[in-house]
Structure 1
Amino acid sequence: MKRLPVNLCDFTGIIQIDFSYNEIKRVDNIVCLKSLDSLKLHHNEIEYLRNNTFIGMKYLRNIDLSYNRLRYIEPGLLLNMAASLLNFDVSHNLLTTVDITNILWENQPAFCETDFSFNKVTSISNELDWTCKTKSNFGYGGYVNLSNNKLSYFVKFSEIGFRNFFFLGKLLSYGFDLRENNWICDCNMYLFTLKSSIILNMLHRNYFEVTCHSPPELKNVLLIDIIKSKSLDRLICNLTIADRCPPKCHCFYQPSKLRTVIDCSRTGRSGLPSALPLRTDLEIDLSSNKLSSMLNKNHEINTNGNGNLLYYYSKYIQKLDLSNNKIKAIPDDLIFKLRNVSLINLSKNEITNTPRFLQILNPCQIYIGDVVKHCKCKDLWLQNWLPSFQSKCFNTTRVYCKYHNEKVHILNMTSHDLGCRLYNAYILCLNISLAVAVFIVTVSSLSIYTFRFELFIMTRKFLKYCKGVVIPSDAYAYDIYISCNENDVYLRHWLTSSFVPFLQEKKLSVFLPYRDCQIGRLREEETIDIMSTSLNFVIFLSEDCESSTEMWIKKEWKYAWYNYRYDINREIIVINYDMLDYQDVTHKYLRAFLKMNSFINLKKKDKLIKEEMYSRLQIKEQFV
């Protein structure tokens, strides 16, 4: 039989079909069998399966297409399966890829097994660009058998729709059998194993026992054993000459330590390599060679890396080991280039110079070992740069001076021993004088800045006293602008019944915002206009003002200070209504009035408060 009989639709009530061991090549005419429960077509020649083949067959529970010649299954076959399918068997076929939409079941609450074993699957695809969403629900899952295929690397989860790694938790009820594949346990496996360690602490199943196929040193090692033994350092990728690994060197990338190692130690080199892997986490080991210089013979920098190796790769190097060579000098400009390298080892070389450029490095950052030299006064900086005798990295660099036929550590040398001239008395006095002057200027500047508001208020009062200010009677529309917390009922009552009438008896014009503001006009705009034509500003300080949500109260203070600052005629009178301390006031200019005791305290009697406030007012009539 080459294909399913066309007249199957004549048997709409049939519940089981078994056409195994035939030569059927196509299965695309069975959607009419609405009551079908089982479809067995194993050992046929079917090569292709459409994603709409079983649409509407809601009673179909078992599909067996094993031992066929299936090469392709259209994406979306199982993801959208809204039926009661329990078992889907396409094992022992010729599939080379499986789409993620044929592994996950989103519209069906549960299934038993999906079997893709004994195929030639090398990858998991996502042809429909499917994405897992927050509301995605994969039911109770089941067993997905991908064993005995040709998978080598775990797929990147973002490429198969899981852009949020935590969405993989939706698949905890699924079981994935990935055994008997050609798994390459290298650096590409690291991220998966790192994340898998979380799940392994929660549960274990026998099909987690995936075995490494390569590299040779990990062949037949269980990946789960690597994870449990915390041996993820073994997951590395060896680099070759094609990856720019220098000849005779061993290069590998190790993601667990975020490094790319270039091990060229003991390779008999007399010069630096001409190229290195193009990575940003290089740890270069050129120790125990015959290098006489830290420069290439052709001291040029170019993007191909054929010039000076260390200059070009300096921003990519994390560690550099040049120990046990024949290097005699450290180039100044190269030190600057290598300033961000975490460790530079130059011990056991023939270095006799200590360029001052070394100061840009942390002394624990570079290992030079023992340096013996004729020390001079210009080497005095080493005493400040080298670690002290008690430091953990004291032995990394030790500079010895040849002094009277002996070797003396430079930290034990005095300035006189190094040939430095002492300052004469005149220079010493001059330096002390300059230091004192700088100290006085600094302290004065800090004091002026700290007390700038207090100094301004004092200076202003002094100038007014000396100048004798005359105020024309028509210069200001209002004598007094009162700023207060209008939500305080008692304060409002006192202002309306006692304080304002007292001022009006003195024939002073008063603007009380909550009484005199025009209805419908913008409050801030009116405040600016009225304050610009007011001579005195009476500010009542209360606790509620500092915490008030009505920002216009604080704006009144700001505009009052602005007018007070730029017009010497005006005056600010602070009445400490709630007897606040200056630390309780956040506005620096109002705090200055309290610090200077330039305010009226409400502890006094009502009559005394009014008289003191009146005495501080600027009165126009006095100067007409």
Structure 2
Amino acid sequence: MDNLYEFSKAYQFGFDLRDVPLVCDCNVQPYHNLVAKWLKTMWKDFYEIKCAGPSKLKGQLLFKLDPIEFICEKSTENGCQKGCSCIDQPERNTLNINCSNAQLSKMPIIPTSNFSKFVHLDLSHNFIKDINASYLKRLSFLDLTGNRLSHVPEIIITQLDNATIILSHNKFLRAIPRNMQFRSLCNTTLSYLQLDCGCDNVWIEQWLRSKECKSKHEDLTGFMCLVPGTGLIPAPKFKEDMVVCDAKETILGMLAGINSSFLGLLLIVGLFVYFFRYEIIVIWLRINQTNKNHDNYVYDVALSLNEDDDELRKWVTLNLIPNLKRYSIYRPYFDSDFGDVRDSAVAKTFATCRTFLVILSESYLEEGVGDSDEHPERSWTENEWKFAWHQYRSDYSKTVIVINYDHLSSYEVKHPQIRAVLRVGHVVNFGNHGPEDEFFHDVIRKIGPAGSNGRIRRFGPGSQQTDFVAMPGFLVPKE
């Protein structure tokens, strides 16, 4: 069976597994958890399954065992660091790694687990100086007793926010990071440390007072402060008034704080500008849009849509274009001259258009099919958008209007420029205007007045037409 829950399909049957040589290790624990409570009310004699291994559990009844005993020991071949023991204990959702006295000078590699989320790591009595590692956020326990730490970066303490930390007996460690003050002393052990206590760490007094863990006083045994002019005292007795912080240090501290705040602000602004750069461009173009003489353009409106969508093309032909009959309209899929290279013709004609009306559907930016998967051909709509965006950015009198035909959220659109227009540009949501004439009125209002060319709506290369009949996908001149 591929899935344990398939057992439910055979609920009325029984499964006699009594002679199966089952190894009662970590792989058994998930099954045991699912079945054990149920068997209390549905017990049958053929559920008396016995373990064939490991040796200490051999012969014992599976469902009489404490699931704590279902463990797997990882070998070096399975990713356990040489000199360490790695035991996966799914019942506690923990991978226990013991590297105490393993002669390590750097953080060990740890194996993966298919059962446990957390890691309990004992690195006591080694030679580790740097505790940076990619898996720190997974740790629920970290013992660094008796190592060679001289510095602990603040980022490390942040990553170990949910872990119990033991830093005892690190004789080279003279300072602890400031963000340590946000940790509880109940999951922090600092015994037999000697810190240099001065103006930079007067926060220790308040921390030890406010974060006191009354049930674990021994965790501060031998935790000492070397105070200038006072000497060595227990850290809980360190007071701010024992040190004199002159104005120069205070000013330098303030300047450092201001500088850090300013750099942080610059970083935030920089990230904001980077992630919303196209939104900023669209807002800037809207603010600076000018009303250039509309008669300077050959076409009032250029349409861009997925021409392969029959329903969409039919709606454009039978509904949208008749309501825009006051404007001269260019449709790349219909009005390009036969024999022209379409991309070149569209780029050239878009330069003579004042408004780009993009009908955004789910398939608008579907990727084209090219010679290979590595080099797909651009879709027509993607090129049309590229030409429209270039014209929009380079001429403040032009505008882009998006008809959101399929009610797409900006989060559903991967194209950054179209997503920006959806957020802060000219958008008309299809079908959200009540009566249909209100929808077309909104589109016309955003396009603005027609130029003198609007009295002649081009229909095919070089032709002129003011009257037409509709057929699916096309407009055909009346006889």
Name the one with the larger helix percent.
Answer: 2
TM norm structure 1: 0.40
Comparing both chains, which one has the higher relative contact order based on Cα–Cα distances under 8 Å and sequence gaps of 6 or more? 2
TM norm structure 2: 0.49
